[in-house]
Structure 1
Amino acid sequence: MVLLRYGKRFKRRGGVRRNLDKALDSFLKGAVRGSTLAMVDAGLIYWERGLKEEAIALYQKAAVLGDPAGQCNLGISYLHAQPQNHKEAVKWLYQASIGGHVRAQYQLALCLHQGLGIHRNLHEAAKWYLKAAEGGYVRAMYNASLCYSSGVGLSQSRRHARKWMRRAADRGHSKAQFEHGLALFSEGEMMKAVVYLELATRSGETAATHVKNVILQQLSATARERALLLADNWRALPSSR
């Protein structure tokens, strides 16, 4: 839809100066014409501006029309609304989850894990963490790793725990980078450990700094320089965030 394209150009500076007012206007026109994508994008701008009732109304329209992003955003909105409505949140997050929306799957898993709006069910929570992880959602990869490591909700598996921790680390999850760095250190992979611990440190994981410095003292000057250069040149793999 042309109006949706114009709205996104104004919002993302796609060849034009960023102008949220013009973006919102284009999205609202698209929403009136029935575009659920435009409804969701207009809702996002309203939410960012603190106009939560207007945002929720648009998410609701998109959700009822079956748009997974609208359902997900509506569910998340109910989690943060005043007052909160956990039951409605879970209802819409579930609808988005079965539609394949990975962020909704992760949020639904959190609700199941914490017992928000639904009976606490660690097995179901782990199932949705894993589903979202397989769909590329980084935070779900980290949580799936923790489930495999502890045996909570999933059969305990060191191999699967390491796999998902590494995947989360390679996609920029700072806690996963710290944990993966520690695992590499314990296996004697000093150079690789320094790279991940340095990345975690740069992302604010202060506990990684001490371990990294201990390892650096054991490396030659050349190895230290090489490890830090690898960290400088590191780029996160694509993900659904």
Structure 2
Amino acid sequence: MNDRTWPHRSETSHFSTLPFPIKNPIRKHQNPTKNHEKHENSPSTAICLRQFRSPATSRRSDHHRDFAALPNDVLTKIAANFSLPNLQTASLVCKAWRDGLRPLREAMLFLRWGKRFKHGRGGVKVSMEKALDSFLKGAARGSTLAMVDAGLVYWEMGRKEEGVALYRRAAELGDPAGQCNLGISYLQAEPPNVKEAVKWLYQASVGGYVRAQYQLALCLHRGIGTDQNLSEAARWYLRAAVGGYVRAMYNVSLCYSLGKGFIQNHRQSRKWMKLAADHGHRKAQFEHGLTLFSEGQMMKAVVYLELAGRGGETAAVHVKNVILQQLSPPSRERALTLADNWRALPSTR
């Protein structure tokens, strides 16, 4: 399930117009503020707040909210996408919760073993079959994290229908990764189901999942499953970029550079292009290298162009060689040493 960056010329009219009054199906869903307000009033959040109330306040509210009496199936749905630390914390609330959350705690063990088998960690050999078996056991115990990982293995095996079914289970339980993967699966289906794709990508985006925010921005940018809306697309690109998504950083730079979705701002464009380059985006490294070259910063330009060339940007190699001819031997050696020692900044992707 490969991600794309800026829409190709063949996919859109290369930004010949800016958008205009929009009937966006996305607006039929709740906005992020309302969703956040609902989350703050959810039972699981109320429990966390209850732990910090004064004893007097707790006594007044105890007869209204007895969370220890929650049925196990409801408790499991609430905690289905909890990580192990959150599960362990929730298990300390009361004995009923400790017992009710036992299957999810067991699921975390299967999830851990599944990752070991998938990636060959912890001294075990890679085995996709054993990884899938472990993930499915975790999924059977209600963990959406295991459902998503099992879905990924199915997808990589070419068993896409089984993978999508697991994504759907996780998505319906509120897992943002499951919602995002389900949305992307609908986009890649034959034929695509773009309306469902946008619906699930929006839900994951509101939940703060940066890959979904980027994919949603691409849909808004291209007008897939919704009316084209470059200003909305730019806003979602920016949210994903702030969250560390490298492809979104590059697209934010282009939005500012071309004045598409944002007011044209070359300073912001350069800022985001450098951030994308420093996080390892090879096209950004090429373009930032060209900018440095045009400004006369030859050694820095060589570093970024060398990195871009190593990443597969063949045009960068030619420009780098032209610059190297203008540098002294010590400067050439210094620039290439800097490229050898360069490390990308950590990113979401």
* Fold shared by both chains (TM-score > 0.5): yes
For 1:7, the aligned partner's letter is: G
Shift of 1:11: 1.0
Question: Does 2:237 match 1:126?
Answer: no
Which of structures 1 and 2 has the larger relative contact order (alpha carbons within 8 angstroms, sep 6+)? 2
Q: 2:269 aligns with which of 154, 161, 164?
A: 161
Question: Does 2:332 match 1:217?
Answer: no
1:13 counterpart residue number: 120
Q: 1:43 aligns with which of 126, 133, 151?
A: 151
For 1:230, the aligned partner's letter is: L
Question: Does 2:112 match 1:2?
Answer: no
Find the aligned partners of 2:315 and 2:187 in 1 and give their Cα distance. Answer: 31
Shift of 1:207: 1.1
Find the aligned partners of 2:112 and 2:178 in 1 and give their Cα distance. Answer: 18
Find the aligned partners of 2:317 and 2:133 in 1 and give their Cα distance. Answer: 47
Question: Does 2:279 match 1:183?
Answer: no
For 2:177, the aligned partner's letter is: A
Higher helix share: 1
For 2:281, the aligned partner's letter is: H
2:281 counterpart residue number: 173
Q: 1:108 aligns with which of 200, 216, 224?
A: 216
Shift of 1:18: 1.2
Classify the secondary structure of the residue corresponding to 1:5.
Answer: helix
1:56 counterpart residue number: 164
Could you list the runs of 5+ residues in structure 2 that have no partner in the other structure? 1-107
For 1:26, the aligned partner's letter is: S
For 1:53, the aligned partner's letter is: E
Q: TM-score, normalised by structure 1?
A: 0.99
How many residue pairs were aligned? 241
Correspondences of 1:85-104 after superposition (within 5 Å): 85-104=193-212
Q: 1:31 aligns with which of 120, 139, 145?
A: 139
The 10-residue stretch of structure 1 (203-212 or 38-47) with the greater mean CA deviation from structure 2: 203-212
The 10-residue stretch of structure 1 (134-143 or 26-35) with the greater mean CA deviation from structure 2: 26-35
Find the aligned partners of 1:155 and 1:9 in 2 and give their Cα distance. Answer: 47
Larger Rg: 2
Find the aligned partners of 1:57 and 1:104 in 2 and give their Cα distance. Answer: 19
Classify the secondary structure of the residue corresponding to 2:145.
Answer: helix
1:205 counterpart residue number: 313
Question: Does 2:189 match 1:81?
Answer: yes
Q: Deviation digits for residues 102-127 of structure 1, max 9, x if unmatched? A: 00000000000000011000000000
Find the aligned partners of 1:46 and 1:81 in 2 and give their Cα distance. Answer: 15
Q: Percent identity?
A: 76
Shift of 1:63: 0.2
Q: Deviation digits for residues 19-68 of structure 1, max 9, x if unmatched? A: 11111001101111110000000000000011110000000000000000
RMSD: 0.7
Could you list the runs of 5+ residues in structure 1 that have no partner in the other structure? none
Find the aligned partners of 1:223 and 1:86 in 2 and give their Cα distance. Answer: 53
For 1:164, the aligned partner's letter is: W
Shift of 1:8: 1.0
1:230 counterpart residue number: 338
Find the aligned partners of 1:210 and 1:86 in 2 and give their Cα distance. Answer: 41
Shift of 1:82: 1.4
Shift of 1:12: 1.6
Shift of 1:174: 0.4
Q: Deviation digits for residues 101-153 of structure 1, max 9, x if unmatched? A: 00000000000000001100000000000000000000000000000111100
